[in-house]
Every structure is written in C-alpha cells, then in structure tokens.
Chains A and B, each alone.
Chain A
Amino acid sequence: MSLLEVRDLQTHFFTRAGVVKAVDDVSFDVAAGEVIGLVGESGSGKSVTGLSILGLVDSPGRIVAGSVKLAGQELVGLAPAKLRALRGQRLAMVFQDPMSVLNPVLTIATQMRLALEAHGRVSNEAARARSIDALTAVRIPDAAQRLDAYPHQFSGGMRQRVAIAIALLHRPALIVCDEPTTALDVSIQAQILTEMRGLVRHLGMALIWISHDLATVSSLASRILVMYAGRIIEEGPTAAVLRSPRHPYSRGLLQSLPSRAEPGQDLAQIPGSTPSLLRLPEGCSFRPRCSEKTDACLRMPEIERHGARAFRCHHPHAAEVP
C-alpha cells in the first residue's frame, strides 16, 4: 500500500466570476520515502493539489470530489480537529515564503516549542533539545544560540531552513514543499537541495516537491508529475520523462529551455498562453496551443498508462526505444 493515495481529486473555487476548476480529476500515489516532483506553470493547479492534501484549501475553494488517503486513512471530510492532529505530526508543508509561516514577534525557540506542544506535552528542556536537533539537521550554525533569535535576524535562506526545521520536528511521514527555493539565490538553493536530499535519505520521509523548474525537480525527484490547467498530463520516472516526454506540452516545455538551444538561436516556443481556468477550451485543455491537434482532441483524453509512464493525450510522441 502506498503512503499517500490521491484519487480523482477535484478542488474547485466558487468565485463571483464562476467556478474555477483548479484541480480536476487528479490521481497519484506516493510511496513511503519517495520523492515526487510536481511541476507546472502558474495556474496549473500544483499548489492547490498540495494544499488539498493537507486540507488547507480555504473558502471559496472546496474539495468537491475525490479521496486523499494517508496510510489508508481518508483525509477528505475528516473533522477539522482530527485533521489538525495529523498536520504537523504526520504531514507537513513548507511554503515559498518562510515569512508566511514564521511569526515575526516570537523567537524561533518559542515557535518551535509551540509546534511541539501542539501534539503533546513536552518539557521546556526537551523542547529545546529537539529544536536544536532539528535546526542542526538543516545546518543552521550555532543552533543553540540562534534558537533565541527572531525571524528578522535570519537571512532568507536561513529562514527557509528554520521553516523546514519546524516541518521536521515531528518527523512527519510526508512533507509537501511548495516552491521552497524559488525566492532564494542559486548558491543558497544548491545548499538547500543538497540538504533536503540528505534529510530524505536519513529520515525516510516522503517528499512532494512542487516547482516550476524542471532542473531543480530533476536533481531531487525520482518520479515527476506534470500538470497543465488543473490536470496531470504526464507522469513517470523523472529522467525518462525528461529524456523522452510523451505529451506535447511536456515536450514543448523542455524544448523551450535555453540550455537546449545554441546560444543566440531562437528558442522553441509554445505559442499562446495558459488558458483561464474559468473558460477552459473544450476537450483537451492544451489543444489551442498544440501542434499535434486534430478533431479527436475535442474530446478530453483519458489518462493512458504504460508501465511506469502515463500521459493524457490522443497523439502522444513516440515512446523511447530502449
């Protein structure tokens, strides 16, 4: 049995302008200790998928259908108190902006103690010791002294490390990281990626790494899910998908990377822009931008599975010849 089973998840936002189908018909599994990369552009539904797993979708959004099971336990429709007991304990999330998580007027020590106390009684000494351990695990130097500092006394990279340390406190089975290094400089990003890889290996946590950056995901995740307009359109082992994408969108995205072209030459570009989730085109959402489209595409393609690979397309690119 997988650690996490997401089935036919649909999260919609009921706005004045209409129903925004942010996540539509999303299914995937995460095994214990597995690192999954969830990639897509803005508005593809990757963040809302992450929030839906933790039951953090706020009004006007709502999970309208589907199921999210953690180690067999259904999370959709679970009482808020029960969900709260799981969040932080079994499930944790790290966001793009660490200041959206950290309270600016409390010391790190206080915030970490509160996170520990939320899931059981703990003495001050034990809380301190566990906090120092968690900060050391994310390589914050002089953790014992830094524990008494306030968030503003840390740099952006260090704040993100603190946010990760708080997520690690209860050794959750699954951490969802939503663009955690996007706001950081490349040199700091490289440090955090290296540390995350070590942590996942040592602690055996599963990780869902949400990002728009294919290269970051490829350095971390063993499996990749590509989202477009609220749906998973391709899935498979990371290197295999990046080597031979089957869906025209994944392929277009890869070919548009400057690293794939000769300097100074025009980049391969996907025409048009992502559709509004309020007015999705009929059939396949990628159809208006797709070079392979035919009349068949007016019907939404079902997800097709071939071994470890899966894609949602009537006209997939040829499979890799082994």
Chain B
Amino acid sequence: MSALVEVRDVSRQFAPRLSLGEKIAAALGSAIEMRTVHALDRVSLAIDPGEVVGLVGESGCGKSTLGRVIAGILQPTSGTASIAGEPVMTGGRKRTKRVQMVFQDPFASLDPRMRVGRAIAEGPLAHGIVGRNDAGSYVAKWLDAVGLDPDFASRFPHQFSGGQRQRIAIARALAMQPDVLVCDEPVASLDVSIQAQIINLFLKLRRELGLTMLFISHDLGLVRHIADRIAIMYLGRIVESGDARRAYTNPLHPYTRALLDSVPKLVLADGEIVSFKAIHGELPSALSPPSGCHFHLRCPHAVDLCRSKVPQLREIEAARRAACHLAPIG
C-alpha cells in the first residue's frame, strides 16, 4: 500500500527578522549573530490511508511545525510534503483541499463575530463543494456528525462551552471533506471529563469516514489510545517511529523510554510510592542544538560516537525505526 501522506527530508528554520540597525551593520560588513531556530531537521514521515499516526514530543520539539507543514500552513525551508503524490504547497501557497487542521484552542480558532453555520459553510462554499441553496442542510449534516444540535448553526461561538467549540472546529474542518486531518493538541485545553467525549468523537469519525489522521499531543496516554503508529520527536528530529503499542511496551530509543518513565501513573495500592526515573537536565536550545545525537547530553547510555555523528532513523525490528547508534537498548 502506498502512503497517502509523504514527508520527505523536510527542514524548517525560523530566522528572526533583522532590525534596520542590524541590516545596516550587516551591509557594512559586521558579523551579525543569526539566531536561527532549527525547528525541523530533515524529517521524513509517511502515513498510510486510514491510519492514525500520533506525533509526540515535549514543547519545542517541532511537532506543531511538522503538523503545519503537512497541513499546508507553513512552507518547509527544504524538502517536500505531499498528499497522494501532490505537493501540499507550491509557490508558497496551499494547493490541495485534501488536508485540514484542528487546533488546540477552540477559543482562538473560531471567529467570534461569525455565526457557527457560516463558519462551517465558508470553506465548502468558496471551493464549490456545496451550492448556496444546499448550504443550510450541509451545515446541519456536519453539526449532527459531531454530536451537536443542527439548530446551533445560527449561534455565535461565545454561546458554547470549550468542548462544544472544539466540536464546531472539527465540523468546520470535516466540511471540507479532507482525506487527512491534522489535529494539534485538540483536547489539551479541555477538562478531563470533556476530553473523553472528544476522543470518542474522533474514534467515531474515524470509523465512519475512514479518516487519515496526524494526532499531535504531548500526552502519551492519549496517543496510545488513539494512534496505530507513533512518531516521537526530540529537538526537530524524529527519534523513534513504529507500532504504537510496541513503542510503549518496548521502547527502542532511550528518549522514548525516559519519556515513558516520566509519566505519572495512578497509584492504587495503599502506601505505594512510585519513583520517577526523571530525565536529568533540560531540553537544549533549538538555537544551538548539540552536535551528533541531540539527546546525547541527557542520555544515560551516550558514548563518543553519539557526540560526533548524527544517528539516522533506521529499521531496528520489523516496521519499527529508531535514530540511535545503540538501539535497541537493553
């Protein structure tokens, strides 16, 4: 089966805009320190049709940047992202209707002055997916699909709770009939009891529509629940990818293991004290990432090779890959 989403060698840097003074100084030949952030460093990822891939990592690892590149919101500095063989962006513009995105904050992603029905119909009308006469019933159909009353179309976003707004944002993305949905922390801003409702909605939509999804989250428990395959990022690179369940039971990369050890678990035995094997140190700055393997400063297994040579993502066991010189670690 050929992949539906294909990301090949994508890098993305963010260079700060120079002030006028700095531009003049640079023109006069003085060395300006370029504080370039390397958000993505030669990332490759493929998603099969109907597959849900969980993209996990800590803040600043580049997971949202990768999501935005796939959704056609950001142009990669180098490399390509394509869906069904077509590039997502050409000439700096998004060219495909096949991908839509759901954002973390449903308070920011909906226009407060636009009625919900219009917000949902806006894209489909502009792209001729639905005619003006059928827009009402089309909106009703999608509101119903996400578990909302079709009468809500005439209301404004402020009349809804966070969970309901996220449903509206999902309906808005789905109304474009995308093949691929990129979800960036879609439940992180919701209460625990509401999170379960939205996760169930994603599971239902996936069953009914056969959606292909990239599910971005920092919550390992959530991703394990929803994803078939998982990709773990650290400082702009994918360090491990493969079957989600096996990544949890038998992580290949030391970072994956450390991340799993950091997650607090429910303590159910009286007097039990769980110990965290906390990763020592902090995430290094993406302005000046460490040489070789980005994780070597915090890795308990690091050897000289890890400091000098960048490990490539390679197959360690069937359909599971890790970017570690020493993988699989015992």
On A, residues with C-beta under 8 Å from B are 41-42, 155, 157-158, 185-191, 193-194, 197, 212-216, 218-219, 237-240, 242-243, 252-254, 256-259, 261, 263-271, 273-274
Given A212-B192, A267-B225, check contact A186 B267 (CB 8 Å). Answer: no
Name which of B77-85, B104-112, B268-276, B319-327 contacts chain A: B268-276
Q: Does A191 lie within 8 Å of B278, measured CB to CB?
A: yes
Collect the chain A residues with CB atoms within 8 Å of residue B261's CB.
Answer: 190
Residues of B145-181 at the interface with A, using a CB-CB cut-off of 8 Å, are 161, 163-164
Complex Cα–Cα for A306 and B59 (A): 44
- Separation in Å of the B276 CB from the closest CB of chain A? 4
- Separation in Å of the B285 CB from the closest CB of chain A? 9
The verdict on B224 contacting chain A, using a C-beta distance below 8 Å, is: yes
Residues of B245-287 at the interface with A, using a CB-CB cut-off of 8 Å, are 245, 258-259, 261-280, 282-283
Would you list 23 pairs from A and B whose C-beta atoms are within 8 A, ordered by A residue? A155-B282, A158-B282, A185-B283, A186-B58, A187-B278, A187-B279, A190-B263, A190-B264, A191-B276, A212-B192, A213-B192, A215-B263, A218-B266, A218-B268, A219-B276, A239-B267, A239-B269, A253-B192, A256-B192, A256-B195, A257-B221, A258-B222, A263-B225
Given A187-B259, A187-B278, A239-B270, check contact A215 B196 (CB 8 Å). Answer: no
Complex Cα–Cα for A190 and B76 (A): 34
Given A215-B264, A238-B267, check contact A185 B163 (CB 8 Å). Answer: no
- Separation in Å of the A59 CB from the closest CB of chain B? 25
Given A185-B58, A267-B225, check contact A219 B267 (CB 8 Å). Answer: yes
Q: Which of the listed residues A42, A189, A263 has the most CB atoms from chain B within 10 Å of its own CB?
A: A263
The verdict on B193 contacting chain A, using a C-beta distance below 8 Å, is: yes
- Separation in Å of the A193 CB from the closest CB of chain B? 6
Collect the chain B residues with CB atoms within 8 Å of residue A216's CB.
Answer: 264
Work out how many contacts link A and B, with CB atoms closer than 8 A.
Answer: 134
On B, residues with C-beta under 8 Å from A are 58-59, 161, 163-164, 191-197, 199-200, 203-204, 218, 220-222, 224-226, 244-245, 258-259, 261-280, 282-283
Complex Cα–Cα for A264 and B193 (A): 18
Complex Cα–Cα for A212 and B276 (A): 20
Please give me the 4 A-B residue pairs with the lowest Cβ-Cβ distance, nearest first: A256-B196, A258-B225, A190-B262, A190-B276
Complex Cα–Cα for A271 and B197 (A): 8
Q: Does B196 lie within 8 Å of A269, measured CB to CB?
A: yes
- Separation in Å of the A118 CB from the closest CB of chain B? 31
Complex Cα–Cα for A242 and B164 (A): 29
Given contacts A212-B192, A213-B192, A269-B197, 13 further A-B contacts (CB under 8 A): A187-B278, A193-B264, A194-B276, A194-B278, A214-B192, A239-B267, A242-B267, A256-B193, A258-B196, A263-B244, A266-B203, A267-B199, A269-B196
Q: Does A212 lie within 8 Å of B191, measured CB to CB?
A: yes
Complex Cα–Cα for A266 and B263 (A): 22
Query: From A186, which residue of chain B is reached at the shortest CB distance?
Result: B262
Given A253-B193, A274-B191, check contact A218 B264 (CB 8 Å). Answer: yes
Q: Does B218 lie within 8 Å of A186, measured CB to CB?
A: yes
Q: Does B225 lie within 8 Å of A188, measured CB to CB?
A: no
Collect the chain B residues with CB atoms within 8 Å of residue A189's CB.
Answer: 262, 264
- Separation in Å of the B195 CB from the closest CB of chain A? 7
Q: Does B268 lie within 8 Å of A186, measured CB to CB?
A: no
- Separation in Å of the B97 CB from the closest CB of chain A? 28
Query: From A238, which residue of chain B is reached at the shortest CB distance?
Result: B267
Complex Cα–Cα for A31 and B156 (A): 49
Q: Does A268 lie within 8 Å of B194, measured CB to CB?
A: no
Collect the chain B residues with CB atoms within 8 Å of residue A42's CB.
Answer: 191
Complex Cα–Cα for A259 and B273 (A): 19
Complex Cα–Cα for A180 and B196 (A): 24
- Separation in Å of the A275 CB from the closest CB of chain B? 11
- Separation in Å of the A150 CB from the closest CB of chain B? 17
Collect the chain A residues with CB atoms within 8 Å of residue B193's CB.
Answer: 41, 252-253, 256, 269-270, 273-274
Complex Cα–Cα for A243 and B268 (A): 6
Collect the chain A residues with CB atoms within 8 Å of residue B275's CB.
Answer: 194
Query: From A239, which residue of chain B is reached at the shortest CB distance?
Result: B270
Q: Does A257 lie within 8 Å of B258, measured CB to CB?
A: no
Collect the chain A residues with CB atoms within 8 Å of residue B279's CB.
Answer: 187, 190-191
Query: From B277, which residue of chain A is reached at the shortest CB distance?
Result: A190
